[in-house]
Amino acid sequence: MRLLWDKQLRLIFLIRMFSSLGYYMFIPFLGVYLLGLYNYSSWQIGFVVGIGLLATRAGAIFLPRLVNSLGDKWIIFASYILVATLLLFTGLAQLSSYPLWIIVSAILGVSFSSATLAMKVWIANCVAEGERINAYSVLNIAVNIGAACGPAIAGLLTSRHVSALPLVTAINLALSSVLAIMLPRERLLKTNAIAVSKTTKLEMSRIPKEFLFLIACGAFTWIAYAQVFDVFPTYAKGHLSESLVGLLFTINAILIIVLQTPFTHYLNYVFERRNKIRAAICLLAISQFVLGMSFLGFMFIDTHIWFGPVLGMILFTCSEVIWSPLLDVLVAEVRGTLGSATAFAYTGLVWGVAESIGSWCGLVLINKQLTHGVSPILLGMIVAFLSSIFFAVQLTLERSRSIGRSVT
């Protein structure tokens, strides 16, 4: 990827890598941090984590106009310097006020969301159209480097000095903010203003049922996803070492880097030869079944049965490599008269809410599981299998409609 060696893109790559490293060090282990220092209840921790995840996923829906008015560079700088300052404050002051943690979590989420949006806009404005796919791929590599290394570092920190977690995270985000200052102020290409889609009543009345169905099934997927990514580190505390939990997330990130490109080539091959929508729904049904099976491995939370969670994470990653890009493909395909920006804004909001609810429910269920109730792992398995069934039903209906149209 030759764009990686372009000076300005190297900057955005490093900004994204350090910020991703900070994000994956802190957010997945926020529950462990709060539990280790302040001994909050599971539902309190779930609410704080859920607010942060919701803000991270849905915060950008309010930000396009702000990015346009202030500029990509300064939004990136302001977002990361704000996050670094907050983390330094919470780490040094040993913030114990629960309401303040809710506010901090929300601010962190919105800041991460705004910086991510600004980086994508920077590429749209400063990279030639024919090279943008490669540029976004470089960003994805940076994200996965952070996802691979962040949890491993956090696992080591939480096993030895849990109080240092926000301070080390702040260093990474401070580096991102310093690098952001070095980005060029001028736009290399003609500025294209971000179009903020305003959904009219006519658009609302014509939202396809397929689109609403996709949003619902995607919500089930994100609830299941939350049980591993957001809940499992807390669920496994006392059963698996923090280092092993960090290793599991590292395995996830490395496998995504290795598997995503071959799968993308396979996806293009399938789409060239089959109906795109039916093929995507079929693969999504399969991916949800694999996702459900992965939870069988996560049930074995014992240091002496380490291969169970490792196998579970491998299956979980294989599923993620399939459903993560396919959900976005279907959003674009079945959105009907909705503008693409509006469609992705809706899905981002709903799926962000779903992940937040899923993480909250999973963390609450941890205490219930101790009294032989439903565990968050069982919840994830049930939801994933339900999503697989729903996609299979949708595939059957899509085939029936296709046959009906061909007969007509």
pLDDT tens-digit profile of 195-236? 434 444 444 446 778 888 888 999 999 999 998 887 888 888
148 compared with 264, residue with greater pLDDT: 148
Interval 281-298 mean pLDDT: 90
- pLDDT-derived band at 98, boundaries 50, 70, 90: confident
68 compared with 351, residue with greater pLDDT: 351
Interval 142-153 mean pLDDT: 80
Please tell me the predicted confidence (pLDDT) of residue 288.
Answer: 92
381 compared with 322, residue with greater pLDDT: 381
Interval 35-42 mean pLDDT: 75
Interval 133-143 mean pLDDT: 68
Worst-scoring range by mean pLDDT, 52-56, 206-210, 402-406?
402-406
Has residue 242 got a pLDDT over 70?
yes
Q: Provide CB contacts within 8 A for 12, sequence distance 6+.
A: 119, 122, 123, 138, 139, 183
- According to the per-residue pLDDT averaged within each range, which of 13-22, 256-265, 394-403 is highest? 13-22
113 compared with 84, residue with greater pLDDT: 84
Mean pLDDT value across the chain: 77
The model's pTM: 0.67
Has residue 63 got a pLDDT over 80?
no
Please tell me the predicted confidence (pLDDT) of residue 113.
Answer: 80
Tokens of 183: 């980005």
How far is residue 375's CA from residue 377's CA, in Å, rounded to a whole number? 5
| Max CA pair span of the chain | 71
Interval 134-161 mean pLDDT: 76
Has residue 148 got a pLDDT over 70?
yes
Distance of CA 16 to the CA centre of its chain: 14
Please tell me the predicted confidence (pLDDT) of residue 301.
Answer: 65
Please tell me the predicted confidence (pLDDT) of residue 387.
Answer: 92
- pLDDT-derived band at 345, boundaries 50, 70, 90: low
- 18 touches 142 (CB < 8 A): no
CA 300 → CA 67, 191, 290, 331, 362, distances in Å? 46, 53, 17, 36, 17
Please tell me the predicted confidence (pLDDT) of residue 5.
Answer: 47
Please tell me the predicted confidence (pLDDT) of residue 174.
Answer: 92
